[in-house]
């Protein structure tokens, strides 16, 4: 036996062969035991937990979980260049992402830059089992199969590579290569699920219930995906190592004849595939081009995105999908011509308030505000108050558009299950309200 051991020790090739055989055998054993350990009930339970975490926790307790994600993000970053007071801005923001004053929307420009292949990839080991031998491999596939929301389309999208925000202008760097909405789901929802499932475990709660308070944060080791994104953001200063897609959220302010403001809010319906059952500003949508046609370069103008959302969410027209191989001309199209006329006459002004990342999904949020003189708003949308749209319920007083922009109504939004971007816009609008009044007098 000793002679045999000496032969092995003196033969590197033989040692390598035996080591490889042993490693292969161990992997085979692990695979066998894994297959034996997964029962049909395990598949069912993992899928039920996934549905409960998405439809109950992430939707109905989003604000609570987002607040804890905000805390965790800053424990990892430990960087003074990021705003750390969630009472000021409840998003993950670098201090230079929020301009000192509102920036007129015409000073927001985009530039197309070369694509950089992301090295950070979404986790799949936290997705539910698809069968007794394998898990789902993409988050959007789980949403499609297990939740199947009526509004869930894989439209083209802009991948944001970086932002440069000064006090007078904004430059958005966008990848030349078209991205897709499902990438936002795969990256953003993975970050949400990883954090939510881990905080549930840390606080010893069940997925089927609903948390009323969360004391313990998840461990750093449980947040591999989140920590990787945060570290890359801190080191690179841009988003080149991950996939970051943004939404454009716009607070609608209506200035009355007396000079006061009213505002609109929205409760997203349960039919939505993303952030359903949450409260938000209206309109809000993805920063993306029209899905058909050759508008990829033209639609990087963020104003076009905002006006499309107004036409669809407030005016009530069907989603604009475009025509293959044709350019959509906004300023000459009857749908949008009237908006540009109101802008030219001073009845509508739009402003960029800043940029941030949702603390839970770590996806981008462009924060904007549109101010209408009351006569212009009624001219565009009519005096009859709409109670909702295909994406949810519009919150207004019973017989007049919107609610008075006062402390009581604003506080009601803050204590609701409001999206972090919506809360941030309201806070920034409160801060800039006197500036807006002055700007509307010009």
- Same-domain pairing of 20 and 99: no
Same domain, 113 and 222: yes
What is the rounded average pLDDT of the residues 306-324?
Answer: 92
Residues 28 and 58 in one domain: no
Q: How confident is residue 273, by pLDDT bands cut at 50, 70 and 90?
A: very low
The range of the structural domain enclosing residue 140 comes to: 38-441
Which single residue is written with the structure tokens 């959509």?
328
Instruction: Check whether residue 42 and residue 6 sit in a common domain.
Output: no
Is the same domain home to 157 and 107? Answer: yes
What's the confidence (pLDDT) of residue 442? 74
Domain count, the chain: 2
| 169 shares a domain with 27 | no
The answer to whether residues 297 and 422 belong to one domain is yes
As a whole number, the mean pLDDT across the chain is 90
Q: Indicate if 111 and 12 belong to the same structural domain.
A: no
> In the prediction, which pLDDT does 151 show?
80
What is the chain's length? 442
Torsion of CA 106, 107, 113, 117, to 10 degrees: -90
pLDDT at res. 32: 45
CB proximity list for 399: less than 8 A, separation 6 or greater: 385
Please check whether residues 216 and 250 belong to one and the same domain: yes
pLDDT per residue as tens digits for the range 177-211: 999 999 999 999 999 999 999 999 999 999 888 89
Res 40: pLDDT:
87
Q: What is the average pLDDT across 295-308?
A: 96
Buried b (16+ CB within 10 A) or exposed e, 352-380: bbbbbbbbbbbbbbbbbbbbbbbebbebb
pLDDT tens-digit map of 343-393: 999 999 999 999 999 999 999 999 999 999 999 999 999 999 888 666 778
- pTM, whole model, 2 decimals? 0.89
Please indicate, yes or no, whether residues 157 and 10 belong to a single structural domain of this protein.
no
Across residues 52-66, what is the average pLDDT?
Answer: 93
432, containing H or E segment: helix 420-441
Identify the pLDDT of residue 14: 47
For residues 233 and 281, state if they share a domain.
Answer: yes
What mean pLDDT do residues 12-19 have?
A: 52
- CA nearest to 379, candidates 398, 401, 399, 397: 401
**Angle formed at CA 315 by CA 314 and CA 319, multiple of 5 degrees:** 90
- List, for residues 206-236, the tens digit of each pLDDT value: 988 889 999 999 999 999 999 999 999 998 8
Q: Which two tokens stand for residue 384?
A: 């009859």
Model pLDDT, residue 5: 44
Residue 398 confidence (pLDDT): 72
The pLDDT tens digits for 24-58 are 555 554 454 444 457 888 999 999 999 999 999 99
pLDDT of residue 269: 66
DSSP summary character for residue 299: G
Residues 85 and 194 placed together within one structural domain of the fold: yes
């Amino acid at each position: 036996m000793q002679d045999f051991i000496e032969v092995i020790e003196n033969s590197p090739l033989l040692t390598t062969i035996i080591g490889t055989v042993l490693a292969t055998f161990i992997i085979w054993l692990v695979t066998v035991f894994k297959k034996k350990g997964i029962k049909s009930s395990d598949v069912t339970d993992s899928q039920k937990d996934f549905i409960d975490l998405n439809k109950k926790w992430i939707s109905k307790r989003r604000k609570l979980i987002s607040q804890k994600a905000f805390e965790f993000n800053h424990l990892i970053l430990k960087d003074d260049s990021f705003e750390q007071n969630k009472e000021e801005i409840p998003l993950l923001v670098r201090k230079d992402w929020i301009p000192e004053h509102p920036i007129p929307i015409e000073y927001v420009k985009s530039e197309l830059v070369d694509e950089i292949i992301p090295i950070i990839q979404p986790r799949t080991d936290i997705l539910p089992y698809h069968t007794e031998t394998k898990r789902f491999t993409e988050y959007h596939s789980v949403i499609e199969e297990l939740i199947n929301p009526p509004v869930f389309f894989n439209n083209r999208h802009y991948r944001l590579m970086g932002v440069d925000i000064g006090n007078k202008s904004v430059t958005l760097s966008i990848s030349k290569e078209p991205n897709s909405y499902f990438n936002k789901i795969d990256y953003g929802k993975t970050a949400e699920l990883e954090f939510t499932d881990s905080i549930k475990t840390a606080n010893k709660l069940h997925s089927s219930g609903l948390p009323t308070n969360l004391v313990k944060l998840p461990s750093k080791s449980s947040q591999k995906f989140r920590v990787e994104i945060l570290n890359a953001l801190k080191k690179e200063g841009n988003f080149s190592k991950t996939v970051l897609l943004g939404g454009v959220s716009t607070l609608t302010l209506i200035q009355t004849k007396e000079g006061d403001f009213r505002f609109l809010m929205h409760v997203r319906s349960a039919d939505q595939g993303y952030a359903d059952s949450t409260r938000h500003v209206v309109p809000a949508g993805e920063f993306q081009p029209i899905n058909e046609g050759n508008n990829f370069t033209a639609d990087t103008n963020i104003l076009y995105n905002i006006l499309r959302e107004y036409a669809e969410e407030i005016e009530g027209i069907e989603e604009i999908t475009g025509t293959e191989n044709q350019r959509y001309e906004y300023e000459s199209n009857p749908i949008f011509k009237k908006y540009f006329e109101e802008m030219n006459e001073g009845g509508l002004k739009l402003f960029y308030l800043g940029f941030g990342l949702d603390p839970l999904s770590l996806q981008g949020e462009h924060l904007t505000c549109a101010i209408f003189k009351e006569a212009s708003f009624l001219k565009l949308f009519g005096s009859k108050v709409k109670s909702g749209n295909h994406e949810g319920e519009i919150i207004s007083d019973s017989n007049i558009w919107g609610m008075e922009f006062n402390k009581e109504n604003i506080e009601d939004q803050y204590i609701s299950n409001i999206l972090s971007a919506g809360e941030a816009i309201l806070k920034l609008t409160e801060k800039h309200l006197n500036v807006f009044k002055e700007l509307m007098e010009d």
